[in-house]
Amino acid sequence: MHVFTSITANYLPKAAVLAHSIKKYHPEARFHLVLSDTLPAGCPSSTLAAFDTIIGIGELPLPQNRSAWVFKHRLVELCTAVKGAAFQHIADRLGAERIYYFDPDIAIFQRLEGLEAELGRASVLLTPHQIEPEPAHAVQAIMDNEINSLKHGVYNLGFLAVRTSAEGRRFIDWWADRLRSYCHDNIPGGLFTDQRWIDLAPAFFDDIRILRDPQYNVATWNMTHRRATGRVPDAVLINGQPLGFYHFSGFDSGGQRIMLERYGSHSPVYTELRDWYIARCQEFGQAELGSVPCIHAAYANGLRVPDAHRLVYRNRPDLQAKYPNPYETESESRSFLHWCQTHPDEVAAGAVASEARWAGLRKLVRKHAPEPAIHMARRVRSLVRRTG
């Protein structure tokens, strides 16, 4: 069993909780940490202990100009964009026949023999966000759960398992190819990082198993139908079945707590599970590591890279050709940062145009533009015509 997760350095404590939970129940598993960052100085050995290998972004089969490719992605986009290439790397370099991906904010609570059995019968395993419809009168739950799944994707890509059969490999290669070019958080444009692509997978590929077992990928978006009982951490039951793995999504933003209070009140065990998770993350250095900035979040001179800079660079081939390493600031007057600082209108218009291809101009202009909407709308229309 080969297992991996994909992170930047601030998620090291969470990844350690995941890795140690895997090793607790599957000591034979090989755990790989895909790190799109650098390791912080003085990282505790206990945090790194459960990682069998650390795979840097430079080892993955990605576009040759890594600096330019990385720059085009916001950090969440980056950590998801590398997942397909990581599947390819682990299959090709390590000869893995069964590969499991888990988001770093997941923990395992039993041996995954059920998943192993399913992967013996299928090439790809997927877990839907929901496996039961909300009642017609539950308007808030329909909005929070079902409509959010329509926006973000039917299947939660916090979990994905692939057997490298011919069909499994065909799936990996297709998905990895799409993520190299189209792993963006652009819901109006039909994209949500790596996740929306998988809505197409059951139509494109045979041998896909959609798991409808309530004990897998339990999270706030499906707990309206999943009652938790028992004892934390090793004897939690979900609808009477042993908990397989729990997804603590939205933990840092506070969204996890809010949704837990909204939908988990029927099961106090969920709150106990959250308290357990907080304590485990602290054991592995959450207080020290949880706010470590990613190396890719800043230019070489230390200035933070605004999202608008990434968006205009992503959508301007002329800028990509002129500035092959957009992070570089050694020659200030010839750097991409200097171009952005001296062309603020083009940066603003370019960022808006990036989204305007998929959504109403006026709404986005009012959100992003410092000048009257009608003037910026004209500017954006002109730019969209020129850039396609």
What is the mean predicted confidence (pLDDT) over 216-235?
Answer: 97
Confidence band for 351, pLDDT divided at 50, 70 and 90: confident
What is the mean predicted confidence (pLDDT) over 191-211?
Answer: 98
The pLDDT value given to residue 350: 80
Closest CA to 151 of 184, 179, 183, 191: 191
What is the mean predicted confidence (pLDDT) over 199-224?
Answer: 97
Buried/exposed code over 12-27 (b: 16+ C-beta within 10 A; e: otherwise): bbbbbbbbbbbbbbbe
Say if residues 107 and 246 touch (Cβ distance below 8 Å): yes
**Tokens 């200035």 belong to residue:** 303
Q: Where are the domains of the chain?
A: 2-288, 299-387
Fold of 2-288: Spore Coat Polysaccharide Biosynthesis Protein SpsA; Chain A (3.90.550)
**Residue 203 vs residues 91, 94, 160, 238: alpha-carbon distances, Å:** 24, 30, 17, 31
Per-residue model confidence as pLDDT tens digits over 155-164: 999 999 999 9
Average pLDDT, the chain: 92
Per-residue model confidence as pLDDT tens digits over 105-142: 999 999 999 999 999 999 999 999 999 999 999 999 99
What is the spatial distance between Cα 233 and Cα 281, in angstroms, rounded to a whole number? 14
